[in-house]
Amino acid sequence: MEMNELTPHVEELKRVLDGKADEQQIISELNTYLNVYHVSLDAAKRGIIRKYGGDLGGFVTAEAIKKKIGDLKGNENSVDITAVAVFVEKKDIQVKGVTKTILSGILGDDTGTASFTVWDVNDIVMDKGATYTLKNVYTKLWNDKIQINLGNRGVVEKSDERIDLPERTITYTSTETKICDLREGIGNVTVTGKIISIETKNIQTQNEAKIVFSGMLADDTGKIQFSAWKDFELKSGETIKIENAYIKGWRGIPQLNLGERAEVSRVDDTFEIADAGSNNKTVAEILKVGGGLDVTITGTAIDLRTGSGLIKRCPECNRSVLSDECVAHGKIVPVPDIRMKLVIDDGTGAINAIVNRDDTERLTGISVFTAVSEAKKHGDPEVVTKMIEEKILIKDISVTGNVMTDEYGPMMIVRTISFNESNVTEKAEKLLDLVEGSL
């Protein structure tokens, strides 16, 4: 965005922060959130307000307006929509091992249709063919399709507005797709792959106990988690062809779902499955997909974010705490820990990466014991952060882990991290050749 477009947002942040950050700090933060982390404007403003201790109650989103489905961009954070429930389905999903009931389906108005999900159902009831006004929804764009989401701030109200839906053609043709091309929100896909692992889970729905078969499927382009909602007699190690599956996602990570309409057949396919350690992606590719499993990114560590270095944790739940009090367990005796919250840039974009204690100690050579000693010696834990910066910043590194996406953009939970051997002379010569060739 141009500076003249950002000016009213800078002024709003100055008002809400009330002197806690000056204008140049706010402009710099906005530039980082928008151009480095690639998050929406409202998410950037909320992040800045939280960082400097401002009152989010004084922040009003710029997009709290009513829109038609055809006018949605896929980056709205608070918008009202009046539409017909073309299709509605209530289902139970697993979130961190806990069963959660959601409403999903298709909404339509006179400008088009879009899929929707109500994540906090409570007493919300939606009937097929009825018209509703959904307030405070947020939208995403996956695979070039709009997705409408209703969180805990959302409201669903019955509407008397008459909406004439355009005629539309529905097709159930299943499209052959490689795992690397699967995106959240895609329906009716055909995937061929090898079952790497499978397990059964017993869950309790509203009406009955149900067995879900979940595991990992891989082809020569990558791997994906899957869930089968009926018994297809799947076995680890066999190669299968799945038709009429659909893709859901958790925090940006696509997941393959086999519902009642899915069909499974055994095939004799000898393709080589992707090696878990060779799933190399660029940040741009991750931004396009939204997330991924066992992803490897190679780039430069350009920043160490707040919350890095020496931190305190609750001994009961392992939450990081700012004082000697945990939000879940009250007054505690915290235990010291050390971590890195890196920003890694690979030339196509930047991504946040959280590195745990073991890898932080191994890569920097700074142990928790050393960190505690240095913090006591200097009377300031920030000295540890500066020590880590000297070891890690502007270094070429490779990180591997799972990438998830939230309102602040993609974030990797790092499983392994290592320095890359850099041949400075070779790089300089290549750069010189490139410059001379353009003269």
Note the pLDDT tens digit of each residue in 54-100: 765 545 454 457 899 988 888 787 789 999 998 888 887 766 667 78
pLDDT exceeds cutoff 80 at 139: yes
pLDDT exceeds cutoff 90 at 311: yes
d(CA 8, CA 45) in angstroms, rounded, equals 12
Residues 282 and 255 in one domain: no
Residues 109 and 244 in one domain: no
Domain span at residue 39 reads 3-58
Domain boundary among 221, 241, 274: 274
SS3 label, residue 153: coil
How big is the chain, counted in residues?
Answer: 439
Q: Is residue 231 part of a domain?
A: yes
Q: How confident is the model at residue 354 (pLDDT cuts 50, 70, 90)?
A: very high
Residues 352 and 374 in one domain: yes
Global confidence as pTM? 0.48
Asked if residues 304 and 382 have their Cβ atoms less than 8 Å apart, the reply is: no
Q: What is the pLDDT of residue 93?
A: 76
pLDDT exceeds cutoff 50 at 315: yes
Task: Give 156-159's long-range contacts (Cβ < 8 A, gap of 24+).
Answer: 156/118, 156/124, 156/126, 156/132, 157/132, 157/133, 158/130, 158/131, 158/132, 159/82, 159/131, 159/132, 159/133
Residues 138 and 254 in one domain: no
Q: Is residue 261 part of a domain?
A: yes
Residues 375 and 401 in one domain: yes
pLDDT exceeds cutoff 80 at 183: no
Residues 325 and 268 in one domain: no
Q: Is residue 168 part of a domain?
A: no
Average pLDDT over residues 191-220: 82
Asked if residues 290 and 183 have their Cβ atoms less than 8 Å apart, the reply is: yes
pLDDT exceeds cutoff 60 at 425: no
Helix, strand, coil percent values for the chain (each to nearest 5): 25, 40, 35
Residues 182 and 234 in one domain: yes
Q: Is residue 434 part of a domain?
A: no
Q: Is residue 430 part of a domain?
A: no
Task: Tell how far CA 143 is from the center of its chain.
Answer: 15
Find, among 223, 171, 226, the residue nearest to 198 by Cα: 226
Looking up residue 201, the CATH number of its domain turns out to be 2.40.50.140
145: Cβ contacts below 8 Å, ≥ 6 apart: 114, 115, 185
Asked if residues 144 and 181 have their Cβ atoms less than 8 Å apart, the reply is: no
Query: Is residue 74 left, alpha or beta, with left meaning phi > 0 and alpha meaning psi from -120 to 50?
Result: left
Residues 416 and 283 in one domain: yes
Provide the number of structural domains found in the chain.
Answer: 4
Q: pLDDT above 70 covers what percent of the chain?
A: 82
Residue pLDDT, tens place only, 101-123: 888 888 999 888 888 999 888 88
Q: What is the pLDDT of residue 338?
A: 96
Higher per-residue pLDDT: 274 or 32: 32
Q: Is residue 432 part of a domain?
A: no
Q: What is the pLDDT of residue 3?
A: 55
Residue pLDDT, tens place only, 206-246: 556 778 898 888 887 778 889 888 889 999 989 999 988 88
Q: Is residue 321 part of a domain?
A: yes
Residues 184 and 116 in one domain: no
314: Cβ contacts below 8 Å, ≥ 6 apart: 321, 326, 328, 329, 332, 334
Q: How many other C-beta atoms can be found within 10 angstroms of the C-beta atom of residue 264? A: 16
Q: Is residue 167 part of a domain?
A: no
Q: What is the pLDDT of residue 359?
A: 95
Q: What is the pLDDT of residue 58?
A: 47
Q: What is the pLDDT of residue 169?
A: 39
Residues 419 and 283 in one domain: yes
Lowest mean pLDDT among 34-43, 240-249, 347-356: 34-43
